[in-house]
Amino acid sequence: MSKALQITNLSKTYGNGFTALKGVSLSVEKGDFFALLGANGAGKSTMIGIISSLVNKTSGEVNIHGFDLDTQRSEAKAMIGLVPQEFNFNVFEPVEEILLNQAGYYGVGRSEAKVRAKQLLEQLELWDKRKNMASELSGGMKRRLMIARALIHRPQLLILDEPTAGVDIEIRRSMWDFLKKLNEAGITIILTTHYLEEAENLCRNIAIINKGDIVENTSMKALLSHLQTETFILDLKEPLDALPETDEFILRQIDASTLEVELNKDHSINRIFEVLNTHGIRVSSLRNKTNRLEELFIELVQQSNHDTTQEVSA
Amino acid sequence: MTLTDQMTALKTILIKEVLRFSRIWVQTILPPAITMALYFVIFGKLIGSAIDTSATDGYSYIDYIVPGLIMMSVITNSYSNVVSSFYSAKYQGHIQELLVSPTPNTIILIGFIGGGVIRGLMVGAIVTLVSLFFTDMDVQHPFLTVITLFLTSVLFATAGLINAVYAKSFDDISIVPVFVLTPLTYLGGVFYSIKLLSPFWQTMSLVNPVLYMVNGFRYGILGVSDISIYISLAIILIFIVILFSIAYFLLDKGVGIRS
């Protein structure tokens, strides 16, 4: 059975000599919710650009739902919906017109496009703005407009390049719900984001790209299981005079009523409370110090950078 | 993409283009009508009445320059519509809406060129109507008149697209119209017959492609021309084939629009 996306030995060297992708191979199953993570300049947007025909590849193959991007370009393109990082619609066009035009470019007639546009604009809470010029929309509305535009031709693979950048928390959560529903309906989603909490919440599989190479490609669950320790911040009910002694986990005092606890993944979080309780320390709240995926992401990227440096030195 | 889908895509681009220049009609449709009315008054009536008809194949000066002025407005508007529309699409990034879609490059090309042609012919029609306030027009060869106007519009719309592909700033889209298009049009026999020039400059004028278009159109309306109508049409067609091939090649390679 064909994959939603199959990339083989994909390379891109720009005219200025910069190599953004170094023979990358990657596959995404149909129906997956896939995270593509990487620092700025890692090669994510180049990869997405090539998949969506906005960037010319240097070499390699891209196959979308069984269609080769070189030899079956039209069929392959029809499978993809793209939500790019930058706003790229005509700001002097009305919202509904932008959707109708995009539908037309995929061969969807005006009357059918109007039905679809109404449905999408209502779902994304933009129906009231349909006659407004795109320039009059807020940042969050513009992001939602790009999602609606990407879906107007009913693609099988939706690619979102940092879709929630600059969007407030409330709208971000509602966009997550919308994307989850799309994925449940069978649309494969590839997401790049700098909010690692977003990737952890939404995605089942993940690839991490660094300096044009894939440094990790696995399931979210498997990746998170690599985490050996987890760090929590505890807010205490009363100020603490002295740290209790324990060798089960590492305790650090941040200030009078805040503790940092580093816990090995073999230990249960319950033990923290049991130990603190025996010392009469009462906890009012607990939270992760950093997002778990964030810790792993930094670790993997640093490891990859270290390996590259060693190769160069050798 | 089926042929029906391609026709839907083409219709979409054409509607989008027409809506674009219609929304800003004060900038796109009105100015040529006013400018040409001034040409008709000043050159046609005031100065033209003092010009001997022997210099204009026996026609009054205003009758002689009307075809050239209509052609000039068609050339300018066909060109500027495509160059500004395509460059804006590049600049704002919404050309990507088309690039990610399955719409073939030929349809994208025909769509943008078609938009330029529609504006060019619309402005041409308005200028023709304005000219009727100043002169009676008795069209000698209606079919040749329309076909010359249409093909010239196609030619300059295509040239506008090539300009837009290479343009990197808004300055770049005004350089060609100001420093190339306007001189070629003014020196292309809009206001005079090349028979008035010395043999050397008559020969030099033959290098100017606009001369063939203006004379072809003048032949269609007045029945007189410095150039054979067949040569005029052949030259226009050759230029269209060359420019369309270049434009297709540039779009296919993604020059200026894909990294």
Q: What is the 3-state secondary structure (H, E, C) of A1-24?
A: CCCCEEEEEEEEECCCCCEEEEEE
Q: Kind and range of the H or E element at B40?
A: none
Q: How many CB atoms lie within 10 A of CB B85?
A: 23
Q: Domains plus CATH for chain A? A: 5-224 (3.40.50.300), 229-292 (3.30.70.1560)
Distances (CA, A) of A309 to A43, A230, B115: 18, 28, 54
Which residue of chain B is at minimal alpha-carbon distance from A105? Answer: B9
Tell me the C-alpha distance between A186 and A156, whole Å: 8
Specify whether the CB–CB gap between B254 and A56 falls below 8 A: yes
Asked if A107 and B258 come within 8 Å (Cβ–Cβ), the reply is: no
Number of domains chain B contains: 1
- C-alpha–C-alpha distance, residues B127 and A139, integer Å: 43
Helix pair B105-131, B61-92: axis angle to 10 deg: 150
HSE, CB side, 13 Å, CA atoms: give it for residue B120. 32
CA B257 to chain CA centroid, Å, is 25
Alpha-carbon distances, residue A5 vs A65, A84, A153, A215 (angstroms): 6, 18, 18, 18
| Position A36 pLDDT exceeds 60 | yes
Q: Which residue has the higher pLDDT, A295 or B227?
A: B227
**Contacts B104 to A, Cβ<8 Å:** 74
- Report chain A's C-alpha Rg in angstroms: 23
| Residue B57 backbone class (left: φ over 0; alpha: ψ -120 to 50; beta: rest) | left
Does the residue B170 lie in any domain? yes
Q: What is the mean pLDDT of residues A165-180?
A: 84
Give, for A287, the enclosing helix (H) or strand (E): strand A283-288
- What pLDDT sits at residue A313? 54
Q: Is residue B258 in a domain?
A: no
Select the residue of A56, A93, A104 nearest B9 (Cβ to Cβ).
A104
Task: Kindly report, residue by residue over A266-277, the tens digit of the pLDDT.
Answer: 778 888 888 888
Pairing of strands A33-37, A188-192: parallel
Range of the domain at B113: 3-253
A104-137 pLDDT, tens digit per residue, is 999 999 999 999 999 999 999 899 999 999 999 9
Taking the Cβ of residue A57 and every Cβ of chain B, the question of whether any pair is shorter than 8 Å is answered with no
Please indicate, yes or no, if residue B259 is contained in any of the structural domains. no
For A149, which residue in chain B has the nearest alpha carbon? B97
pLDDT value for A314: 54
- Inter-chain residue contact A77 with B89, CB threshold 8 Å: no
In this structure, what DSSP letter does residue A243 have? P
Contact A80 B100 (CB under 8 A): yes
Cβ-defined contact of A49 to B4 (cutoff 8 Å): no
Are B99 and A53 within 8 A, CB to CB?
Answer: yes
How far is A43 from A24, CA to CA, in rounded Å? 10
In this prediction the ipTM stands at: 0.85
Residue B8 belongs to a domain:
yes
β pairing state of A19-28 and A59-64? unpaired
SS3 B66: helix
What number is the average pLDDT over the span A141-148?
A: 93
> Tens-of-pLDDT digits for all 259 residues of chain B?
899 999 999 999 999 999 999 999 998 889 988 988 888 888 877 887 777 777 777 778 888 888 888 999 999 999 999 999 999 999 999 999 999 999 999 999 999 999 999 999 999 999 999 988 888 878 889 999 999 999 999 999 999 999 999 998 888 888 888 888 888 888 888 888 888 888 888 888 888 888 888 888 888 888 888 888 899 999 999 999 999 999 999 999 888 888 8
Does residue B236 lie within any of the structural domains?
A: yes
Task: Report residue A41 as tokens.
Answer: 């300049």
pLDDT at A145 over 90: yes
Interface of B with A in 3-22 (CB under 8 A): 4-6, 8-9, 11-13, 15-16, 19
Q: Is B236 exposed, middle or buried (0-12, 13-18, 19+ CB in 10 A)?
A: buried
Q: Can you tell me which residue has the tokens 């990487």?
A: A38
**Residue B86: closest C-alpha in chain A:** A90
Q: What is the mean pLDDT of chain B?
A: 89
Residue A54 and residue B99: Cβ atoms within 8 Å? Answer: yes
d(C-alpha A58, C-alpha A253), whole Å: 53
Percent of chain A residues topping a pLDDT of 90: 48
